[in-house]
Structure 1
């Protein structure tokens, strides 16, 4: 069956693509993760629960990411690895008479409530003003279904966290080849006055670039999430 290439555009004031998040510290990579992008697609389609077989189909595509930065008078500003750290408190203003809300109140190691409000300070990291293109290749029928869902999503779409909303249409086109999708991307970057900063490709693709091992290939969603590993290479765009 013939395949099609999807071009996604992820742009927003804030984005967060977690890879090693703990309860009190929520990290982000400087680019979208595969689990984050596929989770976004599942939101658009209205898919929930583990979805093991469907996730395997979605994760079968290699994913390439291109990061962009603004261009002014043939000079470029600082790259997009601008990470913001936000401080948030949790654990306050819960109704203790509500059994579910009572579970949200942070407890001490012995299970009792702390003296005072019980608020816990958390650290949450986010990318500021990120602009990313994502290439995905699927069989034509699946690509069409994903593309239509992104145009008219069943659930709200967001860039890693529910408060981080996109400021541009995510679905930028469905194409017969990577070359056609790249041509569309060049036009989009020219309109927005952007220049490529770096790209993220799957596998170990070069000797002089950064290679990361990421645990971001979704195997099962739902209450018990599980992920598989993949290597990615970060290739800096030469000026």
Structure 2
């Protein structure tokens, strides 16, 4: 028996990368199948090396309720001075001697730079040498909301629905700091395919009006479809992905929410992006 489980992905920040990690981390403009199934596997309590064939066999679809905006998070690490640790004092004779004569609360005593590249500036203070600073640029989606549909074997979708309500581990939307602002489980429908479920489900608060963009996984060779490298095969070590086909239609005017206030989401959660909230 076929069933569809619906997953609400709303958060102030979320990221769905489909490229190797490095100093520059991009984000897709919508959730990826590999990212969503990783979230689901985590909720089910599976480890990186566990088999995911049952999850990968599910058909994936996503409706874009609020596309959000791409933002840039810029970080630097390794430069400047940071607090001195006891182990650093123990392993450095000069610091051990200083520890006997200097007040340990003296800020100068507690300064050291990352041990990979330590030097002294013109004032004699310990600091990291030029070029030791690591820079990263992480892109993420701000104020986005999506509705994902996973369709397939009823037993698998039922276990996913239960795990989303009571996950074995903490769940997050792409990165560990990006936690969902609404409950993940948005519905579980038997004998219902993704287009029907996504068309009937209420849209998110503050979503675009009118028709909504959707992305559906389809059979290879379907007219008008495109090939994407986003079919998860394994999460062990380097993530392994294969190719799949998807189409991108619009859904005709899904219903709006009812019974909500301007300050809360449909689940009663605080809406951080509502303009008129204190």
Change (3 A) 1:193 1:178: farther
Q: Please state how far the C-alpha of 1:51 moved relative to its aligned partner.
A: 1.7
Aligned counterpart for 2:70 among listed residues 80, 83, 104: 83
Judge conservation of contact 1:5–1:181 (CA < 8 Å) in 2: no
CA contact (8 A) 1:201 1:232 kept: yes
Unaligned ranges ≥5, structure 2: 89-113, 118-127, 254-278
Separation in 1, partners of 2:149, 2:115:
42
What are the superposed Cα offsets for residues 160-197 of structure 1, whole Å, 9 maximum, x if unpaired? 001111111111111113369846864532x7353453
Partner residue, 1:10 = 9
Q: What is the distance in 2 between the residues matched to 1:30 and 1:106?
A: 37
CA 1:85–1:180: 2 relative to 1, 3 Å: closer
Give SS of 2:10's match: strand
Q: Where does the alignment leave 5 or more consecutive residues of structure 1 unmatched? A: 70-79, 99-103, 108-113
Aligned residues: 211
Structure with greater strand percent: 1
CA 21–50 in structure 1, closer or farther in 2 if over 3 Å, else same: same
Q: Report deviation, 1:6.
A: 0.5
**Residue pair 1:44, 1:156 contacting (<8 A) in 2 also:** yes
Query: Which is worse superposed, 146-155 or 83-92?
Result: 83-92
Among residues 208, 223, 227, which one is paired with 2:241 in the alignment? 227
More helix by proportion, 1 or 2? Answer: 1
Aligned-pair distance for 1:85? 1.1
Conserved 8 A contact 1:17-1:160: yes
RMSD: 3.1
| Pair 1:115-2:112 in alignment | no
Q: Structure 2 length normalisation: TM-score? A: 0.66
1:197 to 205, 212, 234: 212
User: For the residues of structure 1 that align with 2:191 and 2:153, how far apart are their CA atoms?
Assistant: 12
- Structure 2 vs 1, CA of residues 181 and 238 (structure 1 numbering), >3 Å: closer, same or farther? closer
- TM-score using structure 1 length: 0.75
Where does residue 64 of structure 1 map in the other structure? 61
Greater C-alpha Rg: 2
Larger RCO (CA under 8 A, 6+ residues apart): 1
How far, CA to CA, are the matches of 1:105 and 1:200 in structure 2? 48
Query: Deviation of residue 222 (structure 1)?
Result: 2.6
